[in-house]
Structure 1
Amino acid sequence: MTSRRQPQNRRHHQVVAPSLRVPDAAAGSVFGAARLRGPIARDSIANVTGLSIATVNRQVTALLESGVLRERADLAVSGAIGRPRVPVEVNHEPYLTLGVHIGARTTSIVATDLLGRTLDVVETATPQGPQRAALQTLADSARRYLSRWHRRKALWVGVASGGVIDTSTGYLSHSRLGWTDAPVGPVLAEAIGLPVSVASHVDAMAGAELLLGVRRSNTPTATSLYVYARETVGYALSIGGRVHSPASGPGTIAALPAQSELLGNSGRLESTVSDEAVLGAARKRRIVPADGPSSTIGGVLRAARQGNEGAVELLSERARVLGESVAMLRDMLNPDDLVVGGQAFTEYPEGMERVEAAFAERSVLAPRDIRVTAFGNRVQEAGAGVVALGGIYADPVGAMRRAQRAESA
């Protein structure tokens, strides 16, 4: 690592690689049982996790002392012989995590509790202009937002973004924003004084499905493919309860072959199915004006729902291309579970029937269902939230110690 890429501030040690996986350490497993099933008794935790009752007791004691669990004496089994069976649950009210999703045009800042529930979210334009000034604007926005939360203690910051990310240092290169080796993690750590993790936004969304979604499978052979499309396209693969995140950064599907005369005939997937491509085609066909407040992808969606045949045709064409591309990826990787997300899928659910039909026609493997993300149009904020939560879920006692050290620094 060159010196140019080393954070130059006293809190650089607070940049922590994201943990987008089902916890396997004892403390994380016990906390996970309480999060997913609480209030829950210690013997039930042992049954769920496979840990010995002695190990469960030690971990519960540590988690109670750190403040992330609390006892529910009011739910203790009456008349039990020996030590009362006092259930425990996540102590979620005093804490929050901060998530930041940096989009090509819009940045979302989200507060999430320890159960993974969104408490609040705000959106702002992604800062443009010189890289250093844009990062400072981003940090100032996050710090101001966090200052609103007087009754909750913030524990961690998670950042999700497109581009190429060095997860160990929190540096980001994002060609659409003009950022090269942008020290996103260090700048936020310095501004906010909390542990910061930075992850690819598609990895983060796959992590949200893995940790917060309704289906969870962490068997050693279980695989899940997550395909994303909005302004950009991307994919992530989860294997055995862990999002596969190569050290060199995620692969790209932006240049996968895709043919559509209606959508510009660029020959590449991203420039065919992006919101920008659909909007450009709609302007060309005068479905929406060339400029003005109605000249947006939202305007195209409204026109389709109002019966504009041209708008319906464009969105159906995008659905076809997406379905064929998902089929191509599925045939290459053959995952056990297949999930799609991003507003190209979720903002126009009327198009999913066309996606599924194109997928079924193109795939050469046995029929497979496509599952739409559990988070709908909130998938970006869920992804940013889970980047912050992942470190806490993996090591809740250690996370509390990190937060306490940061607070006293």
Structure 2
Amino acid sequence: MSAKSTTKPRSTARPAGGQSGRRGRHIVAPSLRIGDGAAASVFAAARLRGPIARDVIAQVTSLSIATVNRQVTALLDAGLLRERADLAVSGAIGRPRVPVEVNHEPFLTLGVHIGARTTSIVAADLFGRTLDVVETPTPRGPQGPALASLAGSAQRYLSRWHRRRALWVGVALGGAVDGGTGYVDHNRLGWTQAPVGPVLAETLGLPVSVAAHVDAMAGAELLLGMRRFALSSNSNSPGSSLYVYARETVGYALVIGGRVHSPVSGPGTIANLPAASELLGGSGRLESTVSDEAVLAAARRLNIIPNDSSGATVTTVLRAARAGDVRARDLLAERARVLGEAVALLRDLLNPDDLVVGGQAFTEYPEGMELVQAAFERRCELPARDIRITAFGNRVQEAGAGIVSLGGLYADPLSAMRRATRSEATA
């Protein structure tokens, strides 16, 4: 995976606005936010609280019963909800007393997380639950053949799902992502103006959304991780959240008022934040100090792993630490310290209401979280605050890709279904 870049994809060599030709009609900017429309509120109530009666939906959303009835009828017609007559209250008369729930069995969405080394293809249901996931090496070489190979893998995977209708494709990856067109600059993969979205749309014939991978993970935390529910547009606006990611790269995302903040000029980067560690080495910058690559290089210098161990991974270092190797423990403790101090710096700068960390640098070594928290508290100038670890553990990348594929449905379910149907008709 690649760190967030401050470089925005160039506007040349791509269809203006992403709306040229059949492919452009399938590219939809990612929607990583809590939906505030009536249909979104009703669908969220059914998704998070169903089976649920219409009068209860009206209570929890603060919508009028007439509005709820209209939206429920529209969502039933679209196939996104189904009635549960078997759960109706005894003696109740009329359809408004029949509970409804999400009609999840007929549908799936496809998430694709493109990492620097591995690509995950994820099938998710309408609840955001992973139905299945496969991993394949990310193709190397020229971007054209690499994208064609990825699209072919996704197409073969989708062909296995005979009993579910695919509605949407979501792609999460590093680099500089233009969500409006689906074009990406990805230095680590050597991609420049790579038409990630258009190639997948052309191959799969489905709407495609493309998002920066850390934004996607923050979106998963917002929409799935806490299972939060926005009661209505009149309720208090959700607060702010800072999501910090670390593995092979580092990155961050901000959630403000129920929406992942995506600046027009492109995402920022924390790769170059100051970080010093004699044990880990590095260039005095955060990413080169705490990355998996930096940990492995330090482990070789300390003879924790052999110098000729080309196939070694951070898991090798973790096993050594858990087996009692003091050098490995010290190395991982040092990584935890540097990460904790970096999170403290960001917290002091941005002062979010909620603070979440994710990525295998945190989740693969949960023993180190106490050290991260301790370093964070020592470095913070603001009052102490607990750091919350992602709800998705080591599966955060697939959760991020999944929510990019579901975000449009959650934000505006009726419009998303119409778009999915149009795309299917023109495929």
Q: Is the CA contact 1:77–1:84 (under 8 Å) kept in the aligned structure 2?
A: no
What residue number does 1:90 align with? 102
Distance 1:2 1:162, change over 3 A: closer
Which one of 1, 10, 13 corresponds to residue 4 of structure 1?
13
Which stretch shows the higher mean deviation, 111-120 or 389-398? 389-398
Shift of 1:10: 1.9
Alignment of 1:275-294 (within 5 A): 275-292=292-309
User: What residue is the counterpart of 1:124 in the other structure?
Assistant: 136
Q: How many residues align?
A: 409
Alignment partner, residue 211 of structure 1: 223
Residue 257 of structure 1: aligned partner: 274
Counterpart selection for 2:350 from 318, 321, 333: 333
Change beyond 3 A, Cα 1:118–1:250 = same
Report 1:91-106 matches (<5 A).
91-106=103-118
Correspondence 1:109 to 2:126: no
Tell me what 2:68 maps to.
Answer: 56
Equivalent of residue 268 in structure 1, options 276, 282, 285: 285
Which residue pairs with 2:204 in the alignment? Answer: 192
Are 1:395 and 2:407 counterparts?
A: no
Is 1:167 the counterpart of 2:179? The answer is yes
Identity across matched positions, percent: 75
3-state secondary structure, aligned to 2:92: coil
| Aligned position for 1:379 | 396
1:294 Cα deviation (Å)? 5.3
1:9-48 equivalences in 2 (<5 Å):
9-48=21-60
The 2-side partners of 1:77 and 1:353 are apart by 49
User: How far, CA to CA, are the matches of 2:229 and 2:59 in structure 1?
Assistant: 17
1:307 matched to 2:316? The reply is: no
Q: 1:262 to 1:217 in 2, by over 3 A?
A: farther
2:233 matched residue in structure 1: none
Distance 2:364 2:73 in 1: 45
Amino acid at match of 1:317: E
Matching of residue 368 in structure 1 with residue 385 in structure 2: yes
* Superposed CA offset, 1:12-65 (max 9, x none): 111000000001011111000000000000011111111111010000000000
Deviation of 1:290 after TM superposition, in Å, equals 2.4
Deviation at 1:324, TM superposition (A): 0.2
Residues 126 and 204 of structure 1, relative CA distance in 2, 3 Å threshold:
same
Q: Indicate the SS of the match to 2:352.
A: coil
8 A contact 2:45–2:229 mirrored in 1: no
CA, structure 1 residues 9+141, in 2 after alignment: closer, same or farther (shift >3 Å)? Answer: farther
Distance 1:247 1:294, change over 3 A: same
Contact in 2 for aligned 1:283/1:295 (Cα 8 Å)? no
TM-score, length of structure 2 as denominator length: 0.93
Runs (4 or more) in structure 1 with deviation over 6 Å come to: none
How far did 1:99 drift? 0.2
Q: Secondary structure at the match of 2:22?
A: coil
Gaps of 5+ in 2: 1-9, 231-235
Q: Which structure is higher in RCO with an 8 Å CA cutoff and minimum separation 6? A: 2
The CA deviation at 1:175 is 0.5
The corresponding residue for 1:242 is: 259
CA distance in structure 1 between the aligned counterparts of 2:209 and 2:329, rounded to whole angstroms: 40
CA contact (8 A) 1:9 1:190 kept: no
Question: Is the contact between residue 183 and residue 194 of structure 2 (CA under 8 Å) also seen in structure 1?
Answer: yes
Report the Cα distance in structure 2 between the residues aligned to 1:215 and 1:397, rounded to whole angstroms.
21
The Cα RMSD (Å) is 1.4
> 2: CA distance between counterparts of 1:233 and 1:46?
42
TM-score by length of 1: 0.97
Superposed CA deviations along residues 293-325 of structure 1, whole A, max 9, x for unmatched, are 752111111111111111111110000000000
Distance 1:324 1:217 in 2: 32
State the match for 1:297 in structure 2: 314
Match of 2:7 in 1: none
Name the SS for the 2:306 alignment partner: coil
**CA–CA distance in 2 between the matches of 1:308 and 1:167?**
45
The one-letter code of the counterpart of 2:192 is T
When residues 63 and 132 of structure 1 are mapped into structure 2, their CA distance, relative to the original with a 3 A threshold, is same
Cα distance change of structure 1 residues 111 and 280 upon mapping to structure 2, 3 Å threshold:
same
Q: 1:156 Cα deviation (Å)? A: 0.2
